[in-house]
Structure formats: structure tokens, C-alpha cells
Amino acid sequence: MENKQSGQKDISPAEAVLLGALSPGVNGPTWTTLKTTFLMLGLSLAVMLGLAFSSSDSALTLHVIFLVLITASLFLLLSWFLSQTGLVSVEHQMQEMGLAPKDSISKKDT
């Protein structure tokens, strides 16, 4: 039990995100990074929308509104998909890729 907890502490968040990008499933740190990225995208689009309204250019405003709708729908669909499938642990992803320490593999086989 203690070996599993110490193994979890050895993995940095950057390594966990990299594992989440390369292996099947989504882990917690990867989902947190995605939410932060969508938040920053939303803030930049909000600033762009404010600038588009202040420029009084209707074509520019429509384009930015369209970008906001695409971003919102992508985030909502991704959240719905992850609520249906669930998150995967980093250790499980490491085992899928064959990066898990030999001790944890042998304990689960017995």
C-alpha cells in the first residue's frame, strides 16, 4: 500500500499530462490542464468580443460570436464525454504503456 502511494508521488504533473496525451483515457492532471486551457481561451475570446463590439464591425462581431459558440460547445461535449467514460488513473495509464515498475505489476498478477 505504501509503495503505491510513494509511486504516485514520483510522477510529476507534467509527466502525468504527457502520459494522458499518449495513452488511452484521460487522467486527472490532464483534465485539469484542459479546463485551464479552456478558461484562458474563454478569457481571450471575451476580450476579443469586447473589442469587436467596440469596433462596431458586424462581420467581426459575428465571427467572434461563432468562435465563442464553437469553444463552448467543444467544452460542453468534452465534459459530457468524460462524465460518461470517467477518468483513468495515472498508474493504469503507465501499465497500459508498459512503464509501470515491475513490483506493481507482479503484485496485481498474484
CA triple 94-7-95, angle to 5 deg:
15
Handedness of CA 29, 33, 39, 40 (dihedral sign): positive
More confident residue, 48 or 24: 48
Give the pLDDT score at 2: 45
Q: Which three cell numbers stand for residue 24?
A: 488511452
Give the pLDDT score at 78: 93
Q: Which candidate, 43, 40, 38, 45, places its Cα nearest to that of 82?
A: 38
For residue range 33-49, list pLDDT tens digits in order.
Answer: 999 999 999 999 999 99
User: Per-residue pLDDT for 5 more than 60?
Assistant: no
Give the pLDDT score at 105: 52
For residue range 51-108, list pLDDT tens digits in order.
Answer: 999 998 899 999 999 999 999 999 999 999 999 988 888 888 888 888 877 665 555 5
State the angle between helix axes of 102-109 and 90-97 in degrees (0 to 180), rounded to the nearest 10: 90
Give the pLDDT score at 51: 94
Domain ranges for the chain? 38-110
Give the pLDDT score at 7: 46
User: Per-residue pLDDT for 26 more than 90?
Assistant: no
